[in-house]
Amino acid sequence: MQILVQKFGGTSVATLERMEKVRDKVLNGLQRADRIIVVLSARAGDTNNLLALAGQWSPTPDKAECDVLVSTGEQVSISLFTMLLKDMGIRARSLLGSQIPIVTDDSFGCARIRAINSEALRGWLEQYDILVVAGFQGCTEDKRVTTLGRGGSDTSAVALAAALGSVECEIYTDVNGVYTTDPNICSTARKIDRIAYNEMLEMSSMGAKVLHIRSVEFAQKYKVAVRVRSTFDDDPGTLVTQEDSSMEALLVSGIAYDKDQARVTLHDVLDVPGVAAAVFCPLSEKDVLVDMIVQNTSLDGHTDITFTISRRDLQQTLGIMAEISPKIGMSKVVHDVNVAKVSVIGVGIRNHSGVAARAFAALTQEGINILMISTSEIKITILIQEKYVELAVRILHDTFGLDWT
Ligand code: ADP
Ligand code: ASP
Ligand code: MG
């Protein structure tokens, strides 16, 4: 039995008219495979609205209860879509993550998938031609609802494809593929026909939200080819797959940005062993993901530590810093939420010097101040003020010759 997994994002299911387009794509899929697993996101805006609702009830909403709340967005879209299919006489049913179950760990708000009951799915596929599964959600062993992090429906889809041994997973969204940068902020961005898992991993981890990072990790691990396509046209899209010689060998393959950044600086902490651990261990215990970290050189036995986190973790982080303050002897904590990071990504960076210098020079020419820098083998990441993000992306895209013109 050939099974195809097709995932549709929030804008694709936002209205009845759009869901009808989704239905056409699914019916087309049914001509190419015996059975379809449709994975849906919440309708555009629903997840944000639910999170805002939680914020009205509590300044620091309980993470487990927040998951029970926000996961309802996907419950709405799968039920509505399945109604459309059933009205056409198609054998279909909806499934919540906990009904399958898609078992995760208990990191509420950013849970990781541990197992999927593929046998149960295969059983349902005997009775139904189409299963409509809620993306973004799962449950713990003891049946507590979890969610997989923003954008997590992509991961639900690829994990289902891996569990069912489907060779390709189609991710339908509002752009017709993966571009050299976000086509919505850079009109000269170019569509990439094929991209290697490694490069896609870097793009996603640096903020290109077209694919959730863990979906790419799953795809690479289980060799699932992922095709990113548009719900609204017939373009073949972008294939995310293993690296091969037919792929473009570019110095820089893309520019990514991430506005979900907050910067925290701890001033005058003691420069003694154990301080960094005292800062970062309690954050990791609370599942706060720390992104960039910079420690200054020591002056008079004291130093400053600066790091970035997701904006939604700021209040919790400041609370933890207040608790540990006596232990690390700092004078004050300063934070800034008007920051964003921009990354230059490419496997070619590994073998070339001067890429970072070119990036810094290009930003300097536009008068953009660099707040933090971090580099790895295949990327350069720069933290800047949020108001300059679009400009910085366009400048860097142009500097590294990615424009299609
Ligand atoms: P969905 O709701 O379908 O999951 P998302 O909003 O999560 O859609 O992801 C699609 C969006 O990703 C696009 O609208 C685009 O603005 C953004 N994006 C960021 N970087 C890229 C990129 N390199 N290529 C394509 N789209 C990108
Ligand atoms: N609805 C969730 C979100 O908005 C998951 C997703 O769309 O992938 O983040
Ligand atoms: Mg998405």
Q: What is the pLDDT of residue 59?
A: 84
Please give the Cα distance from 174 to 402 (Å, whole number). 22
Report the run of H or E that residue 294 belongs to, with start and end: strand 290-295
Q: How far is the CA of 385 from the centre of ligand 3 (A)?
A: 25
Please indicate, yes or no, if residue 64 is contained in any of the structural domains: yes
Which residues, listed in sequence order, are joined to residue 381 by a DSSP beta bridge?
343, 374
Please give the Cα distance from 396 to 405 (Å, whole number). 15
Please indicate, yes or no, if residue 354 is contained in any of the structural domains: no
Please indicate, yes or no, if residue 57 is contained in any of the structural domains: yes
Please indicate, yes or no, if residue 396 is contained in any of the structural domains: no
The pTM of the full predicted model, rounded to 2 decimals, is 0.92
Please indicate, yes or no, if residue 55 is contained in any of the structural domains: yes
Please give the Cα distance from 363 to 165 (Å, whole number). 46
Q: How many domains does the chain have?
A: 1
Please indicate, yes or no, if residue 125 is contained in any of the structural domains: yes
Per-residue confidence in pLDDT tens, the chain, 405 aa: 999 999 999 999 999 999 999 999 999 999 999 999 999 999 999 999 999 999 999 988 999 999 999 999 999 999 999 999 999 999 999 999 999 999 999 999 999 999 999 999 999 999 999 999 999 999 999 999 999 999 999 999 999 999 999 878 999 999 999 999 999 999 999 999 999 998 899 999 999 999 999 999 999 999 999 999 999 999 999 999 998 876 766 789 899 999 999 999 999 999 999 999 999 999 999 889 999 999 988 878 999 999 999 998 999 999 999 999 999 999 999 999 999 999 999 888 887 888 999 999 999 999 999 999 998 888 999 999 999 999 999 999 999 999 876
Please indicate, yes or no, if residue 96 is contained in any of the structural domains: yes
Please give the Cα distance from 237 to 178 (Å, whole number). 8
Quick check: 42 and 204 in contact, CB under 8 A?
Answer: no
Question: What would you report as the CA-atom Rg of the chain, rounded to the nearest whole angstrom?
Answer: 22
**Residue 221 token pair:** 């691990």
Contacts of 341 (CB under 8 A, 6+ apart): 206, 207, 257, 258, 261, 291, 292, 308, 381, 382, 383, 384
Strand pairing of 238-241 and 379-385?
A: unpaired
- Determine if ligand 1 sits within 6 Å of the CB of residue 260: no
- Determine if ligand 2 sits within 6 Å of the CB of residue 151: yes
Supply the residue whose CA is at minimum distance from atom 6 of ligand 2: 151
- Determine if ligand 1 sits within 6 Å of the CB of residue 190: no
Strand pairing of 290-295 and 168-173?
A: unpaired
- Closest ligand to C-alpha of residue 148 is 2
Give the environment of ion ligand 3: residues with CB less than 5 A.
9, 151
Please indicate, yes or no, if residue 278 is contained in any of the structural domains: no
209 a known binding residue?
Answer: yes
Full DSSP string of 262-289? EEEEEEEEE-STTHHHHHHHHHHHTTPP
| Residue that has been written with the tokens 């920051």 in this structure | 339
Dihedral angle sign, alpha carbons of residues 206, 256, 292, 55? negative
Please give the Cα distance from 300 to 59 (Å, whole number). 39
Torsion of CA 55, 59, 64, 66, to 10 degrees: 0
Q: What is the pLDDT of residue 376?
A: 86
Quick check: 309 and 291 in contact, CB under 8 A?
Answer: yes
Query: Phi/psi zone of residue 223: left (φ > 0), alpha (ψ -120 to 50 degrees), beta?
Result: left
- Determine if ligand 2 sits within 6 Å of the CB of residue 41: yes
Give the domain extent around 74: 3-174
Quick check: 203 and 345 in contact, CB under 8 A?
Answer: yes
Supply the CATH number for residue 44's domain.
Answer: 3.40.1160.10
- Determine if ligand 2 sits within 6 Å of the CB of residue 110: no
Q: What is the pLDDT of residue 349?
A: 85
